[in-house]
């Protein structure tokens, strides 16, 4: 539109100048310039020629700048689309991002976003862009444990969003523990650990042992709690129990928790032998051994062992022993009441 106006104005100017000059001088001239002979034409014509050349030069100048401007605009538009993709990936937690931005306006922001995760407020539901709105909706739905269509986002299973969605599917029963554990490379450690926690509650001993590298404290306690249980029970020797426990680094408190768990179903004699054997190999088990003895009312054995310890060792058990001697009868479990599930 501006070029059209400029052209019309230029032609009007050239016509007016030509008419004005012709009205003053109607003569014709010819001349030679840089070896070129120019024909005999009216003076008004030769006056208008430079104006026409100036017009053509200015149009060419504008065309070059328009072309350069279009290239810059296209580059900005491409960078804008890349920025939207980078923002979406940042929302979705994509780990590997390396968007190359051409324009200076986006380079700084792009570098920052490529190395950031965006955690929007829950009140932000949409921003008016389809790509980003889809990502925001997905974030909200996964957080709300809703069923979502996530495949189209092509997310790696290592992203936190994919992990949470697989945990949601596991919770809803869309994934079974067997499916997850048979494809650990697909679902990753977090989902496998969660699936294993439910798997150890019902699977056979042989099946569970195949995945013993997945044992955590809670899953180990759940599994060992099945020893001699009337429902989904398993039979294990003390050696087998000890071999499983060796795979984890348990504290003194953890061993007491284990004794509390085993107290539900394990035969007392086996339980005593288990902690006696472990206490001979690891000092951290000694408190659990004392707990087991007092819990099973093996008072004399426990007192005799305590008498052979230093004055400042095992103070809780010595206090419990003194209460017993004073005819103050309490359940040893109230001194170690914790959540062992």
Over its length of 341 residues, how does the chain's per-residue pLDDT go in tens digits? 577 888 888 888 888 887 887 788 777 777 677 777 777 777 778 778 888 888 788 888 777 777 776 777 777 788 888 889 889 999 998 888 888 888 888 888 888 888 888 889 888 989 999 989 999 999 999 999 999 999 888 888 889 999 999 999 999 999 999 999 999 988 989 999 999 999 999 999 999 999 999 999 999 999 999 999 989 999 999 999 999 998 899 999 999 999 999 999 999 999 999 999 999 999 999 999 999 999 999 999 999 999 888 888 999 999 989 888 888 888 888 888 664 44
**3-state class (DSSP) for residue 150:** coil
179 belongs to a structural domain? no
The alpha-carbon radius of gyration of the chain (Å, integer) is: 42
Please check whether residue 244 lies inside any domain of the structure.
no
Enter the tokens of residue 126. 């949409």
Asked if the structure places residue 128 within a domain, the reply is no
Residue 256 is assigned to a structural domain of this protein: yes
* Contact indicator for 261, 221 with CB cutoff of 8 Å: yes
Interacting residues of 144 by C-beta distance below 8 A, sequence separation 6+: none
Place of tokens 């974030």: 139
Q: Please count the other Cβ atoms lying within 10 Å of the Cβ belonging to residue 224.
A: 21
Half-sphere CA count of 324, side-chain side, radius 13 A? 16
Residue after which a domain boundary falls, among 80, 108, 136: 108
**Can you give the pLDDT at residue 114?**
86
Residue 69 placed within a domain? yes
The count of domains in the chain is: 2
Q: Which of 214, 215, 220 is nearest to 261 (CA)?
A: 220
Write the CB contacts of 323 (distance below 8 Å, at least 6 apart in sequence). 329, 330
Give the whole-angstrom CA distance, residue 193 versus residue 214.
6
Give domain status of residue 82, yes or no.
Answer: yes
Structure tokens at 82: 């890349």
* pTM (predicted TM-score): 0.70
HSE toward the beta carbon, residue 82, CA cutoff 13 A: 21
- Token pair 């491409």 in the structure block, residue: 78
CA distances from 84 to 88, 90, 132, 269, 321 (A): 6, 10, 7, 67, 70
Distance, in Å, from the CA atom of 58 to the CA atom of 6, rounded to the nearest integer, reads: 10
Beta-sheet pairing, 36-42 with 28-33: antiparallel
How many C-beta neighbours within 10 Å does residue 163 have?
Answer: 21
**Domain limits for position 22:** 2-108
State the SS3 of 31-80.
EEECCEEEEEEEHHHHHHHHHHHHHHHHHHHHHHHHHHHHHHHHHHHHHH
The pLDDT, as a whole number, for residue 4 is 84
Return d(Cα 90, Cα 135) in angstroms, integer: 10
Structural element, H or E, at residue 242: helix 238-245
87 part of a folded domain: yes
Instruction: Please report whether residue 306 resides in a domain.
Output: yes
| CA 202 to chain centroid | 31
Q: Which residue's entry shows tokens 């997905």?
A: 138
**Contact at 8 Å (CB) between 153 and 92?**
yes
Last-in-domain residue among 44, 73, 108: 108
**Calpha distance 76→243 (Å, rounded):** 63
Query: Whole-angstrom Cα distance, residue 199 to residue 191?
Result: 12
Q: Among 48, 81, 108, identify where a domain stops.
A: 108
> Rounded to the nearest 10 degrees, what angle do helices 252-262 and 286-295 cross at?
30
């Amino acid at each position: 539109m501006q070029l059209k106006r400029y052209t019309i104005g230029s032609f009007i100017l050239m016509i007016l100048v030509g008419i004005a000059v012709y009205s003053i001088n109607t003569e014709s001239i010819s001349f030679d310039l840089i070896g070129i002979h120019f024909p005999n034409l009216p003076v008004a014509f030769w006056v208008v020629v430079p104006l026409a050349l100036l017009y053509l030069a200015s149009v060419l100048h504008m065309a070059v700048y328009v072309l350069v401007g279009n290239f810059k605009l296209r580059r900005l538009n491409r960078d804008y689309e890349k920025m939207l993709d980078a923002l979406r990936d940042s929302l979705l937690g994509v780990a590997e991002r390396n968007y190359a931005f051409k324009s200076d306006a986006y380079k700084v922001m792009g570098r920052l976003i490529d190395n950031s995760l965006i955690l929007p407020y829950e009140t932000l539901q949409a921003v008016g862009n389809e790509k980003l709105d889809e990502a925001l909706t997905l974030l909200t739905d996964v957080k709300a444990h809703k069923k979502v269509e996530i495949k189209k986002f092509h997310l790696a299973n290592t992203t936190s969003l994919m992990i949470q969605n697989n945990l949601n599917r596991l919770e809803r029963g869309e994934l079974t523990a067997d499916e997850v554990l048979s494809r650990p490379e697909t679902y990753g450690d977090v989902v496998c650990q969660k699936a294993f926690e439910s798997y150890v509650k019902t699977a056979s001993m042989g099946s569970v042992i195949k995945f013993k590298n997945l044992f955590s404290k809670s899953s180990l306690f759940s599994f060992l709690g099945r020893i001699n249980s009337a429902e989904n029970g398993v039979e294990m020797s003390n050696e087998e129990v000890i071999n499983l426990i060796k795979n984890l680094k348990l504290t003194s408190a953890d061993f007491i928790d284990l004794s509390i768990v085993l107290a539900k179903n394990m035969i007392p004699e086996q339980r005593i032998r288990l902690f006696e054997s472990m206490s001979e190999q690891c000092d951290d088990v000694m408190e659990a051994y004392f707990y087991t003895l007092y819990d099973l009312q093996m008072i004399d054995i426990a007192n005799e062992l305590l008498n052979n310890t230093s004055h400042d060792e095992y103070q809780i058990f010595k206090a419990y022993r003194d209460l017993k001697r004073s005819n103050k009868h309490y359940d040893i479990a109230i001194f170690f009441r914790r959540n062992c599930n």
